[in-house]
Structure 1
Amino acid sequence: MTETAMRQQLGELARRFQRDGYRLYVVEETARRLYRRRETTEIRLWADADVIYLARALDDVNPCGEGRWSASAALGAIRLLLACDPLAAGARRRSAGSVLDSRRVAGQAWFTVHGLLYDPARDRYLDPLGCRDDIRRGVLRALASPGPRPAARLERLLSAAALVADEPLEPDPALLEELRAESVTLTRELLPAVRAGLAAVLTARRPMAGLELLGELGALERIIPELAALRGCPQDKEYHPEGDVWVHTLECFRRCRRLPLGLALGLLLHDIAKPATLVVEKTVSFPGHSPAGAAMAGRILRRLGFEPELVEEVQFYIRHHLLPKLVRDLPAVELAALARHPWFENLVRLYRADVQGSQGDMARYRSVLRRLAVYHPGLLHRRAAE
């Protein structure tokens, strides 16, 4: 659905609410994305209606926690996420009208960049708290407190990283201090928020920036403790002039945009077993780190509750990420089978990012692709278009 069509349909929905005595605003991240003209797959709304009215006005209204309701409308695959005004009572007469304090609604956002409201009935933005300047200047500042709940505090931390991964936003010192003070203790109840937060960072437009922030805050290593060993783990300077394994992992994301989640997780964990397989002799080497890394990644992702198929996909990438070695060692029949695999093209994308995150030998990359193109027609053409 185009942005224009989405705005039109949201306007029709808001005017319907308005005719019935209610107001409807687009809020938080959706309002920011509309203002910045970014695509969105989820529309966050705030209405001063009660849930009884929502159930009559929309389809498939279901609770999804924290006073929010998921619903569907004529907006294609875009998900609606509605929050009801807590002061709206189900028995209130609609004919009495309703007053929505826009300052109160905007003030419930965690960050000032989420303090902008969009009124689809009038196709205009409201800025009751003066937050628009922070959006324009690229400053990430705290607004509302997440409260004492561990889930909300973790979600705010991950949301900050996701915002930085999506836009060139600079967290201000006060917010950084607050986020550093957060203690991330994983429980089963927090795992959905962790998975959603990691996915938002890794699949964003600037994943390296989001990962750097999570690393700076110490949050990433509390979510995946195995990543801590990558810092300071040496590599052969001829092949990895960029630095240790953690620096290399970050550099692999530098040119990545909007990666599929499985590929992004594979890239994050592709060298996870290097510290455990490190051998320092005349040179630095990591014998067997691909199969060992696939096994480690499986344990990590299952612990975090990712779906088995996604875990299998990530393990495929890690197990096969040393493409030059596979091209050199595998018999033709096995290379042909690998090239027919449905995840093969993403594996090639991972290999490209791996090369770009190290010495950047693109001549070697193209040489490997030419060898593989024998078994995968069109591979060179598609990769050249990247």
Structure 2
Amino acid sequence: MMLPLQSNTPSSLKRIPRSIRWVYSVVCAAILAATLSALPMAAKAQSPDPLPSWNDGQSKRDIIAFVEAVTTVGSPDFVPVDQRVATFDNDGTLWVEQPVYTQGFFAVDRLKEMAAQNPPWASTKPYKTIVSSGLKGLSGIDEAGLAQIIGVTHSGMTPPEFSAIVDKWLASARHPRFDRPFTELTYKPMLEVLAYFRANGFKTYIVTGGGVDFVRAFAEKAYGIPPEQVIGSRIKLTFQMQDSQPELFRQDKIDFIDDGPGKPIGIEQGIGRRPIAAFGNSDGDLQMLQWTVEAGKRRLGVVVHHTDAEREYAYDRNSKVGHLDVALDAAKLDSWTVVDMKADWKTIFPWEK
């Protein structure tokens, strides 16, 4: 469409023949159109780095390439928004899990507090081991004993009452090495991944072997993940009427273990949709990663490998906590992304400079 010369056309141009002035108008319009069409490309080229705490390595490229592929309309790997589900393990994937899981610290502190009202525990296994040795005593307790400790420290109350107890503990408890609240020991690079995925239409879920109500107490504040998007191990609940009010009460029996092969089951029961991306750090996440990645089409499986003893911890095959052996081998065989914390992360914690 020809743009007419406006009344404010320079007088010098008015002396130019009309045919030439017409060409001038067309050229100006073409330049304007070309400039406007180039703006989105320039804006995209100057867009901020979505993962600024990551070094420019293969892990970062894998994550960004995956998100761009599944969110670009017309891409052969495009996934509709309602199918964009990403699952994240918690301990060792989103925050520190050494020297023991955070919930282990909580259970020990709560047992010692409760022991004052239960004198027989001082001579009764497995409680006496914790009463006398504290956190060190956990290493000498078998699975049955641990279940017993979890039972007495996590039951006999309503879910809101339990959440309040966890909140109070988190407000005062500090990690023995870093001397900081546990909620300050989240991984900054992973917080960026969560935000990046959500900005691109993903629903982000925590799928943890830890207690679901324990993690729900802080997940929204720490990660921006609401309680209904947390899947974890559960203890049994019962419904009761108390003072004419309906209540749920936590029992001292395990209902479901959301670890290892339990994670795909928990995902199916809790989400009802297969993830297209999964992040873990241990053999307890193996089946979740397999369930996600080996479903055909383009999928993303990420293993966070703890390799930085100076800034955090270095452990894998020989560690009792966060044991990473079979999943590390599977990652190499199946071309999952393995994040080398020491090499891939510029910073680890939000408070680092």
Instruction: Report the TM-score when normalising by structure 1.
Output: 0.26
Q: Which has the higher contact order (CA 8 A, sep 6+)?
A: 2
Larger radius of gyration: 2
Going by fraction, where is strand more abundant, 1 or 2?
2
Instruction: Report the TM-score when normalising by structure 2.
Output: 0.28
Going by fraction, where is helix more abundant, 1 or 2?
1
